[in-house]
Amino acid sequence: MTQTIAPPTTAIQPPNLHDGPRVIRINAALIADAHHSFAPGSLILQVDDDQWIIHAINTQAAIDQLDLPSDLRTLDLPDQIIIPPLINAHTHLDLTHIGPQPHNPSEGFVPWLDMIRANRILEDDAIAGSVTLGIEKSLAGGTIAVGDIAGAPNAILKDIPIRTLAHSPMLGTSFLEFFGIGTTATTIIDALQTYLANHLDQLQQELHNTGVTFGLSPHATNTISIAVYHRAAQLALKHNIPLCTHLAETLEEREFISKGTGPQRGFLERFGIWDDSILSEIGKHEHPIEHLHPVLKQLPILCAHVNDAPTDDEFGNMIELLATTQTSVAYCPRAHTYFGHYDTLGPHPFQAMLDAGINVTLGTDSIVNLNTPDRITTLDDMRLLASRDQTPMHTLLSMTTTNPAHALRLDPNAFRFESGHRPAGLLSLAVGANHPDPWSSVMHSGSSPNWILFAPKNAVKTGAD
C-alpha cells in the first residue's frame, strides 16, 4: 500500500556503503549546533562500530594542530555552513496535496477550516500519496523528523498516515487526531478505546525500530471536552503514548472558552455538535491555558501554537502557569503570520516562554500556510525569525534540533556536535559570495539545504524510555 521513499542523496555514504578512508575532515565557513559554533570550522568524522562518530570539532586552526591520519579524506566546503538536520515539531503531512493556499485573516479561522474540510481526502491510497509528498518535501528541506498530525476524515481513525511515515526514511511521531465535544464526546471515547484495543499491539510491533512513534492528538480546546482530554491523558499514561494538541491558537478560541460565544460556537452549532452540556465546562472566564491546565499538569503534552499567552491581563500570567507543567510548545512562525495573529495577538511570546523554562520548538503547520511550495522545513521559519526578530542563531537551532528532539522522544545528543556523539545527519547550506557573516547570509537567502550525512537511526533512543 505504501510506496518506498528513498533516503536523500548525501555527500558522505553510511560506513557500510563507503569504501574510502575511515576518517573524514569537513571544513566549512561555519559549523554550528544549538550550543556551539566554529567559524571557519572543522569536523572530523571517523567510523566506529559501523557508524560515523564525531572524533573532533573545533576551529580549522585548532584542528590543524591535531595529529590526523595521513589517508584521511577532506571535504572542503568554504562557501557552506554545516548544521544538524532539522526537526519539524508540528505539521500535517496529509494536507500536502492541497498545496499553499491564499488566506484572508480578516475573514476569521472558520472559513479556512471549511476549505480544509472540503479538500480532505478519504481514500487510504490518496492519503498515503499526500503524506508521501509531504515526506519528500520535508527531506528536500533538510527535515529528519516530524511531529505529524494524522487526520481522521469523517471521524474514521486511520493507520495509513503512520504506516506511511514508518516506511519512510524519516523519524517522528504520528499523532492520531480526533474530535470530541458535545454530541460527539462519548462516541469518540468508545471509538478510541476500540481502536487501541484492536490496533495498538500490532502497530507497536510494526513500528519497532523504525524511529516512528504512535501518538494521540485530541484536536483543540474548542473541539475536545475536558472530560475527553482527561480520558486521552489516562490512555496516554496507561500505554505510554505521547500526546499533542492545538492550544491557545486564536482569539476566537479564547472567546469560546472564556465566554462560550463566538464563531467557534457557531461552527459546532452548524454541524449539530453543540449541546448545552458544553456550557458546564466553558464560559467561566478562564483562558484556554487555564482551562486545559488540569490536564497539562498530568503529563508532558506537545501543544501546537500557543499564540495567545497573556502575562499581565485579566487572566493573570499564562506563561507562568504553563511553566508549572511539562508542556512543550510548537510555535509555527509562518502559520502565525499567515493567520494574522501577529496583528491581532502581537508577536509570539516564545522568548518569554524559553526564559520561563518552557521547551519551545518550531513547527511549520501544514504546507497550506507556507510560502515554500517545494519544501516543508523549519529552516524557513528560522529565516523568518532571524530576519524579522533578530532571533539569535543558537536559540533558532535549539528550537529546531535539541528541543523538539526532547518533545518527540528522540535523542538530543544526535543533534549536538560534540566528540563521541553519533550525528543523526549533517546539512550544508550555501553562503552568499563575499558575505562577511555566513549565518546571516544563509538566514537571508532562500536556498535549499544539501544533505552531507543522513543517519536517522542515531537519533532513535534504545531501551526503556
Query: Using CB under 5 A as the criterion, what x/- string covers residues 286-315 for binding Zn ion?
Result: ------------------x-----------
- Nearer to Zn ion (CB atom), residue 384 or residue 429: 384
SS3 190: helix
Annotate 77-93 with b (16+ C-beta within 10 A) or e (fewer): bebbbbbbbbbbbbbbb
Q: In the complex, what is the shortest distance from the CB of residue 350 to Zn ion, in angstroms, rounded to a whole number?
A: 16
Strand partners, 149: 175
Please choose, out of 97-105, 180-188, 339-347, 357-365, the segment that lies near Zn ion by the rule CB under 5 A.
Answer: 357-365
- Nearer to Zn ion (CB atom), residue 109 or residue 454: 109
Q: In the complex, what is the shortest distance from the CB of residue 331 to Zn ion, in angstroms, rounded to a whole number?
A: 12
Which residues in the 361-380 window bind Zn ion by CB under 5 A? 365
- Nearer to Zn ion (CB atom), residue 39 or residue 113: 113
Please choose, out of 25-33, 57-65, 228-236, 358-366, the segment that lies near Zn ion by the rule CB under 5 A.
Answer: 358-366
Q: In the complex, what is the shortest distance from the CB of residue 194 to Zn ion, in angstroms, rounded to a whole number?
A: 25
Task: Report which secondary-structure segment, H or E, holds 351.
Answer: helix 350-355
d(CA 212, CA 176): 13
- Nearer to Zn ion (CB atom), residue 365 or residue 380: 365
Q: In the complex, what is the shortest distance from the CB of residue 332 to Zn ion, in angstroms, rounded to a whole number?
A: 7
Please choose, out of 158-166, 292-300, 360-368, 433-441, the segment that lies near Zn ion by the rule CB under 5 A.
Answer: 360-368
**CA triplet 159, 122, 179: central angle to 5 degrees?**
70
Cβ–Cβ under 8 Å, residues 334 and 370: yes
Cα torsion angle, 80, 81, 87, 90, sign:
negative
Q: In the complex, what is the shortest distance from the CB of residue 370 to Zn ion, in angstroms, rounded to a whole number?
A: 12
Q: Please, is 413 exposed, middle or buried when counting C-beta atoms within 10 Å of its C-beta (0-12, 13-18, 19+)?
A: middle
Terminal alpha carbon distance of the chain = 31
- Nearer to Zn ion (CB atom), residue 178 or residue 454: 178
Q: In the complex, what is the shortest distance from the CB of residue 8 to Zn ion, in angstroms, rounded to a whole number?
A: 25
Task: Report which secondary-structure segment, H or E, holds 59.
Answer: strand 51-59
Q: In the complex, what is the shortest distance from the CB of residue 142 to Zn ion, in angstroms, rounded to a whole number?
A: 21
Grid coordinates belonging to 403:
528541543
DSSP annotation string for 89-114: EEE-GGGGGG------GGG-SHHHHH
Q: How many residues bind Zn ion (CB under 5 A)?
A: 2
- Nearer to Zn ion (CB atom), residue 103 or residue 394: 103
d(CA 274, CA 283): 14
- Nearer to Zn ion (CB atom), residue 253 or residue 411: 253
Residues engaged in binding Zn ion (CB under 5 A): 304, 365
